[in-house]
Amino acid sequence: MKKKGILAVDVGSSSIRATVYIKDEGVNKQLAVSNKGEARFSAEALWGRLATLIKSLTKDEKNINYEAVGVSAFLGWVVVDQFGVPVEKAWSWMAHGNEEEVKKFEMFLPEDAPQIIGRKINEELGVFRWGRILRQAEKNYMVLSLKDYLNFKLTGVMKMDRTHASYTGLFSIKQKKWDSRLLKAFRIDASSLPPLSYGYEEVGNITPEIALDLGLQLKTKVIAGGPDGTLAILGGGGTRAGKTIEVMGTTDVLFHLSDNKDTEKIVEKGLVRNCYIFPDLYAIGGPTGMTGGTLTWLMENWNWTFESKSFQQLLHSWASITPAEEGLFVIPFLTGARVPDWSPAIRGSIVGLTPSHTFKDIYKATVEGIAFGTKDIFEQLESITGVIDTLIAIGGGARNESFLLTRAASIGCRIVIPKEIEASTFGVIALAGTLVHWFDDIHSAVASLNPISGEIKTSAEEIEQYKRGYKQYKQLLTILNTWYNR
């Protein structure tokens, strides 16, 4: 008798991972290939690499009946023709929007546009990347997220989940549908946008051609899924209102799940409000500037690795290194700041450097700067939600206890860590498993797949110490923001 399986796909900026999960057993097999994250890329070539990876997984596993497939992917966009063929290179989150288009269209937008879309008008909105192509198209073009393009390749169905739609600049967060006033302002026809779904819903079944090619079954269901950060939040424990999760990666993403509908106040605080995977839940918070990517940049330039003697010495002396107390601060955002300041002009900066400081001081000051950035988001969130007493930490940065201790002291609350910190795959498995009735509900699915396994606490003394440093950091950020925008 064949075993029941789920195929979970996670397309990240640096790797593409495919995982086979067997009911009542767990992860059966996982394969990954590196992915060169680029601002513009070929969606067709990416699909080809993913298909090859899936075939490598399934070719020797003939005793598995795949009941569902789920996909998460980095935030990216693909414009396709009526046959689903990309008309030019896709955009990743690294691609800059057109600043001239922002200036051109801002004057035509409704006064309440930020409240409609759940964020300030900025060049990162999808429409400022691909809107021009939809306006100029002589044929029937449609925009899909990268994840939804991959779902189309699997099913032949074009849809977009509402979380991805939240990033377009054309979607009403409150009404949960494409907004006619925004479409009119941007001169985009409604036929250029796909039907909408929630991340937990089924898109359709695998097509016969794909089933044969990839070694799957005809009745294999495909869930809508969502952005990799959103699926990581779900897989890390984000199943109900009140949960606060930070994905610690190249850039950090911090969201608090809420049923709060006061978009105006959320936008005033510089935060983002997205539709979540489930109806009546919203994700409030947003992405930071570069964080873990800055630490990687430092280590590469100093020829450090996590195993190198110098780095291990740094960790052993972590508590005794106190850059903020000594007036040494690092603004870590090498490519601009996002939530809550939205300052694309700001750049990485070191202030207060003296001859007595070493690489170790600069490195920890960078970790402190990242922690102060989290504190900044926390302050804005807590003005809306009330006190947040627990943060769930996931992503690569959650591996390091020293980093988490600094983060906990800065934000002033405990941090908990789930068993699997690379949680997007488990978010996909939880959604797919719930769809095919392996679990009673999404809460029991996530609790079973990825329980909390660790906790970081800090002392009142450490919290008080970082309060002083945070105040100085905020003053510095204001000064530098003026300087870089001069």
CA 257 to CA 243: how far, in whole Å?
Answer: 5
**Joined tokens for residue 22:** 């067997």
Q: How far is CA 9 from the centre of its chain?
A: 15
CA 175 to CA 115: how far, in whole Å?
Answer: 11
The whole-number pLDDT of residue 261 equals 74
* Region at 118 (left for phi over 0; alpha for psi -120 to 50; beta for the rest): left
Written as tens digits, the pLDDT of the chain (486 aa) is 899 999 999 999 889 999 999 999 999 999 999 998 899 999 999 999 999 999 999 987 789 999 999 999 999 999 999 999 999 999 998 898 888 899 999 999 999 999 999 999 999 999 999 999 999 987 789 999 999 999 999 999 999 999 999 999 999 999 999 999 999 999 999 999 999 999 999 999 999 999 999 999 999 999 999 999 999 999 999 999 999 999 999 889 999 999 977 888 999 999 999 999 999 899 999 999 999 999 999 999 999 999 999 999 999 999 999 999 999 999 999 989 999 998 889 999 999 999 999 999 999 999 999 999 999 999 999 999 999 999 999 999 999 999 999 999 999 999 999 999 999 999 999 999 999 999 999 999 999 999 999 999 899 999 999 999 999 999 999 999 999 998
Span 3-228: which CATH code?
3.30.420.40
**Joined tokens for residue 113:** 């546009």
What CATH superfamily is the domain 238-422+451-484?
A: ATPase, nucleotide binding domain (3.30.420.40)
CA 370 to CA 442: how far, in whole Å?
Answer: 32
- Given strand 142-145, what is the order of strands in its sheet? 40-41, 90-92, 76-80, 142-145
210-218 contact pairs (CB < 8 A, 24+)? 210/153, 210/154, 210/155, 213/51, 213/55, 214/51, 214/54, 214/55, 214/58, 215/54, 215/55, 215/58, 215/59, 215/61, 216/7, 216/58, 216/66, 216/69, 217/65, 217/66, 217/67
The whole-number pLDDT of residue 344 equals 85
How crowded is residue 132: how many other Cβ atoms within 10 Å of its Cβ? 16
Give every CB contact of residue 404 below 8 A, 6+ residues apart in sequence.
393, 398, 415, 417, 456
CA 171 to CA 97: how far, in whole Å?
Answer: 17
The whole-number pLDDT of residue 1 equals 81
CA 426 to CA 394: how far, in whole Å?
Answer: 12
430-434 contact pairs (CB < 8 A, 24+)? 430/234, 430/235, 431/70, 431/199, 431/200, 431/223, 431/225, 431/231, 431/234, 431/277, 432/6, 432/8, 432/67, 432/68, 432/69, 432/70, 432/221, 432/223, 433/6, 433/21, 433/23, 433/68, 434/200
User: Which residues in the chain are classed under CATH 3.30.420.40?
Assistant: 3-228, 238-422+451-484
Q: Residues 371, 303: contact at Cβ < 8 Å?
A: no
HEC string of the chain? CCEEEEEEEEECCCEEEEEEEECCCEEEEEEEEECCCCCEECHHHHHHHHHHHHHHHHCCCCCEEEEEEEEEECCEEEEECCCCCECCCEEECCCCCCHHHHHHHHCCCCCCHHHHHCCCCCCCCCHHHHHHHHHHCCCCCEEEEHHHHHHHHHHCCCCEEHHHHCCCCCEECCCCEECHHHHHHHCCCHHHCCCEECCCCEEEECCHHHHHHHCCCCCCEEECCEEHHHHHHHHCCCCCCCCEEEECCCEEEEEEEECCCCHHHHHHCCCEEEECCCCCCEEEEEEEEECHHHHHHHHHHCCCCCCCHHHHHHHHCHHHCCCCCCCCEEECCCCCECCCCCECCCCCEEECCCCCCCHHHHHHHHHHHHHHHHHHHHHHHHHHHCCCCEEEEECHHHHCHHHHHHHHHHHCCEEEEECCCCCHHHHHHHHHHHHCCCCCCHHHHHHHHCCEEEEECCCHHHHHHHHHHHHHHHHHHHHHHHHHCC
